[in-house]
């Protein structure tokens, strides 16, 4: 849409309708970003596990933590400050996860709002300005599901169904698609239309079936030579809470 200086819509197109759901779906790159977790219970542990998987720099503030969190702190994977939350703890935070009870979460949320910091309070939607989706992970492929807080149970059911639809073989296939894309973009004489057509062909359902069949035959051949039944490796999964 184009708007001139008088505020008139020059294109004549209609404005997009306002959706009652004001959330915006987004994937965050947290590598080397400061993330603070308030709380040390099992819910905090699950969030920390996910954050570590992204390469984030994680600080935990809680008087007591689970054995897993203590172990991560002992090896330097997280920084643990054994105390209660205090105003000012979000000074350098890009994202804060609050899992310390409603009263503490409210204080954390207030500071996060004042600092324009992303805040996710576990099972406490009133003190969130961002929400964790239910996610299916197959390596670089991530499928995120949200019901805008209307039915987390439905989001969980859909995740389980999508996990069956998008099996672990997508882990290797998406990586191959990435390698192909890099090769095609490194070809200086390849025109954009041909490159686009090739990329779409390789990402088609037919191409995936061909990949899966070849992979299955390869596993069967390997199993025969080793004298055992083929085991299809499972993609690495990160628990989602």
Query: At 150, is the pLDDT very low, low, confident or very high (cuts 50, 70, 90)?
Result: confident
pLDDT tens-digit map of 26-85? 899 999 999 999 999 999 999 999 999 999 999 999 999 999 999 999 999 999 999 999
Place of tokens 């069949």: 213
Q: What does the pLDDT read at residue 231?
A: 47
Q: What does the pLDDT read at residue 12?
A: 55
Query: At 237, is the pLDDT very low, low, confident or very high (cuts 50, 70, 90)?
Result: very low
Place of tokens 């954390």: 108
pLDDT tens-digit map of 185-195? 999 999 999 99
Place of tokens 């970003």: 33
Residues 6+ apart with CB under 8 A from 15: 1, 9
* pTM metric for this prediction: 0.74
pLDDT tens-digit map of 88-113? 999 999 999 999 989 999 999 999 99
Q: What does the pLDDT read at residue 230?
A: 43
Q: What does the pLDDT read at residue 116?
A: 97
Q: In the predicted model, what is the mean pLDDT of residues 215-221?
A: 64
Place of tokens 């639809």: 165
């Amino acid at each position: 849409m184009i708007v001139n200086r008088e505020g008139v819509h020059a294109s004549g197109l209609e404005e997009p309708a306002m959706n009652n759901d004001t959330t915006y779906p987004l994937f965050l790159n947290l590598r080397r970003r400061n993330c603070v977790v308030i709380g040390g219970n099992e819910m905090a542990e699950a969030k920390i596990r996910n954050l570590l998987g992204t390469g984030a720099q994680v600080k935990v503030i809680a008087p007591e933590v689970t054995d897993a969190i203590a172990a991560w702190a002992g090896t330097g994977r997280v920084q643990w400050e054994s105390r209660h939350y205090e105003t000012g703890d979000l000074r350098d935070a890009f994202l804060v996860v609050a899992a310390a009870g409603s009263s503490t979460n409210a204080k954390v949320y207030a500071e996060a709002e004042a600092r324009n910091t992303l805040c996710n309070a576990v099972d406490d939607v009133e003190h969130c300005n961002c929400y964790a989706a239910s996610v299916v992970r197959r390596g670089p492929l991530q499928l995120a599901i949200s019901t805008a807080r209307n039915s987390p149970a439905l989001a969980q059911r859909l995740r389980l169904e999508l996990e069956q639809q998008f099996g672990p073989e997508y882990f290797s296939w998406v990586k191959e698609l990435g390698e192909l894309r890099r090769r095609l973009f490194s070809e200086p004489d390849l025109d954009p239309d041909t490159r686009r057509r090739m990329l779409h062909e390789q990402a088609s359902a037919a191409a995936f079936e061909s990949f899966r069949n070849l992979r299955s035959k390869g596993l069967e051949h390997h199993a025969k030579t080793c004298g055992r039944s083929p085991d299809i490796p499972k993609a690495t999964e990160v628990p989602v809470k």
